[in-house]
Amino acid sequence: MTLQFPMLVDGAWVPSSDDRWINSHEPGTGEVWAQIPAATEGDVDRAVMAAHRAMRSGPWSEMTASARGEALVRLSELVSGHASVLAEAETRDTGKLIRETTGSVDYVPAFYRYYGGLADKIQGHTLPSDKPGMEIFTYREPVGVVAAIVPWNSPQMLLAVKLAPALAAGNAVVIKPSEHGSIPILEFGKLVEQAGIPRGVVNIVTGRGDPVGNVLTRHRLVSRIAFTGGPDTARTIVRNSAENFASVSLELGGKSPQIVFADANLDSALNGIVGGIFGASGQSCVAGSRLYVQREIYDDFIARLIDRTEQIRLGSPLDPDSEMGPLATREQLGRFDLYVGSTPAEGGRVLTGGGRPVEPAMGWFVEPTILETHAKGIRAQEDEIFGPVLAVTTFNDQADAVEKANATQYGLAAGVWTSAVERAHQMIRALSAGIVWVNTYRATSPVAPFGGLRDSGGGRESGADAVYDYTSVKTAWINSSDEVVADPFKVQ
């Protein structure tokens, strides 16, 4: 019998109101392993109404900021205590390796702790009034009901960077996980009540983008939409937000460059390149999917890279020894085939990989793939594939590297490998991306803002400032003078 995971609406674990379910596949086998509710429009409305009620009256609306912070710290401890269940749920549902989900779930508590600590440091200001007798000050109030929309590739981490600041600021939240990664979020949701977060403050509605995401992002009582996903969905959401004028943050895709200078520590660079594109099977928004290697070291470095790539151990995501798992959805297989298949006709060449592995025979596996893309106009070099495909070419000097790296509509991240400190600083300034990593790649932290430019979206998650995105400023004026205003028609 297939496992069924109900969703969380107004403190109750429920099926959809018409009892329809969506199959969730296990990418490691390609088989259905569980079902999630296909929420209806009415279910989404009930979840938003519950969040709205929880904000306006009841225990959450009366809780002090310090008490909210303590609840978030308790939540972080509960996540730590349930890490193995949460990691396994994410691995089975998304196909991400258990070694990766374990590492990521072990780090999730740090985000709840960090924002728990910030909850009672969200302050307004007393303003230096320019009008005698008039006092002016500001409050930072919760913004309202937050819609948190999460993709499948790292669901619990990408939820934490939204939920933790939203709750720290006193909001209530309706979460819409991806239909390909809902179960780890539903497992996490079981911990919310145990942390002492009152009923209705956190709701989880599952189902497809249409209707669930559409109804949620158009709902009149939603005040903020925090979205991570692809650019096409982002466009729909921005259009939907014209219905409710919710503020929107967008964390979108990327085609991030990695640049290896001849003066770099090449052993470190090799590891950084391999992890940057083949980690999470390339299904990471910051995947370093374009590689530029300085001409004089190109042949040797690429030969070493091919050698290491061909040794990557593909295997079951639940096996702790596997180094690369499957793609998360069957559709992703088609995308891989399309881009790799069209490369030779567009002037590129497959250096390694490009097909399905012999082993594992089951599941949605592809080979880690390197394409040489010296020519212009090769689509695998330009578009986000969201798979283990690395496009490599050369550069001559620093200016050439910057020009090539910046020739993209995306602007999420970039990696630079060099041992020259002045070059590192020059490259950080010259690269057009929200994050630049030097001699490291894919590092994240609750303290460090994360986000991109242009088609990579414009939001910044993590870091102390992100909490203010979940507040609105109220300005208060108090006239403390005894003087009666003589002219009621003159603006004071």
Minimum distance from CB of 162 to ligand NAD (Å)? 10
* Residue selected from 39, 252, 270, 291 as contacting ligand NAD according to rule CB under 6 A: 252
Helix (H) or strand (E) holding 257: strand 257-260
Our finding on whether 387 is near ligand NAD (CB under 6 A) is: no
251 touches ligand NAD (CB under 6 A): yes
Which CB sits closer to ligand NAD, 233 or 294?
A: 233
Q: How far is CA 88 from CA 104, 190, 252, 314, 317, in A?
A: 12, 15, 26, 18, 9
Catalytic residue, candidates 88, 179, 285, 367: 285
14-31 burial, b at 16+ Cβ within 10 Å, e below that, comes to: bbbeeeebbebbbbbbee
Nearest to 166, CA basis, from 478, 472, 484, 473: 472
Instruction: CB nearer to ligand NAD: give 252 or 260.
Output: 252
- Which residue among 104, 206, 233, 444 contacts ligand NAD (CB under 6 A)? 233
Distance CA 252, CA 190 (A): 28
- Verify binding: residue 151, ligand NAD, rule CB under 6 A: yes
User: Per CB under 6 A, does 155 bind ligand NAD?
Assistant: no
- Check residue 201 for interaction with ligand NAD (CB under 6 A): no
Please tell me whether residue 178 binds ligand NAD under the rule CB under 6 A.
Answer: yes
Should residue 285 be labelled a site residue for ligand NAD when binding is judged by CB under 6 A? yes
In whole angstroms, the minimum distance from the beta carbon of 348 to ligand NAD comes to 22
Q: Does 213 bind ligand NAD (CB under 6 A)?
A: yes
Residue 230 binds ligand NAD, judged by CB under 6 A: yes
Both tokens of 281, joined, read: 């099977």
Give the phi and the psi of residue 310 in degrees, each rounded to 5: -70, -15
Pick 165 or 209: Cβ nearer ligand NAD:
209
- The catalytic residue among 187, 251, 367, 384 is 251
Applying CB under 6 A, does 149 fall inside the site for ligand NAD? yes
Paired tokens of 297? 């070291």
CB of 218 to ligand NAD, least distance (A): 9
Q: Does 373 bind ligand NAD (CB under 6 A)?
A: no
Strand, coil or helix: 161: helix
Choosing from 7, 44, 158, 327, the residue that interacts with ligand NAD (CB under 6 A) is 158
In whole angstroms, how close is the CB of 67 to ligand NAD at the nearest point?
Answer: 30
Contact between 247 and ligand NAD per CB under 6 A: no
Q: Is 88 a catalytic residue?
A: no
Does residue 414 bind ligand NAD (CB under 6 A)? no
Binding status of residue 176 toward ligand NAD by CB under 6 A: yes
Which C-beta is closer to ligand NAD: that of 230 or that of 449? Answer: 230
Q: Is 386 helix (H, G, I), strand (E, B) or coil?
A: coil
DSSP letters of 83-143? HHHHHHHHHHHH---HHHHHHHHHHHHHHHHHHHHHGGG----EE--SSTTEEEEEEEEE-
- CB burial string 47-75: b at 16+ within 10 A, e below: bbbbbbbbbeeeebeebebeebbbbbbbb
Q: Interface with ligand NAD includes 214 (CB under 6 A)?
A: yes
- Supply 276's token pair: 């940057």
Which one, 198 or 459, has the nearer CB to ligand NAD? 459
Helix 83-94 crosses helix 183-194 at what angle (to 10 degrees)? 160
* Of 26 and 372, CB closest to ligand NAD: 26
Residue 338's contacts (CB-CB under 8 Å, 6 or more residues apart) are none
Q: What span, in angstroms and rounded, lies between the C-alpha atoms of 448 and 110?
A: 12
101 scored as a contact of ligand NAD (CB under 6 A): no
Among 253, 272, 282, 315, binds ligand NAD (CB under 6 A): 253
Distance, CA of 226 to CA of 404 (rounded, Å): 31
Give me the helix-helix angle, 65-81 and 183-194, nearest 10°. 130
**Residues linked to residue 113 through DSSP beta bridges, in sequence order:** none
| Nearer to ligand NAD (CB atom), residue 281 or residue 294 | 281
Q: Contact between 203 and ligand NAD (CB under 6 A)?
A: no
Among 386, 437, 441, 470, binds ligand NAD (CB under 6 A): 386
- By CB under 6 A, tell whether 153 contacts ligand NAD: yes
210 binds ligand NAD (CB under 6 A): yes
Q: Is 189 in the site for ligand NAD (CB under 6 A)?
A: no
285 is catalytic: yes
**Of 176 and 442, which has the nearer Cβ to ligand NAD?**
176
Q: Which of these, 57, 27, 302, lies nearest to 181 by C-alpha position?
A: 27
Burial label for 139, CB within 10 Å (0-12, 13-18, 19+), is: middle
Element (H, E) at 228: strand 222-228
Size of the site for ligand NAD (CB under 6 A): 30
Binding site for ligand NAD (CB under 6 A): 149-153, 158, 176-179, 208-210, 213-214, 217, 228-230, 233, 236-237, 251-254, 285, 384, 386, 412
Known catalytic residues are 251, 285
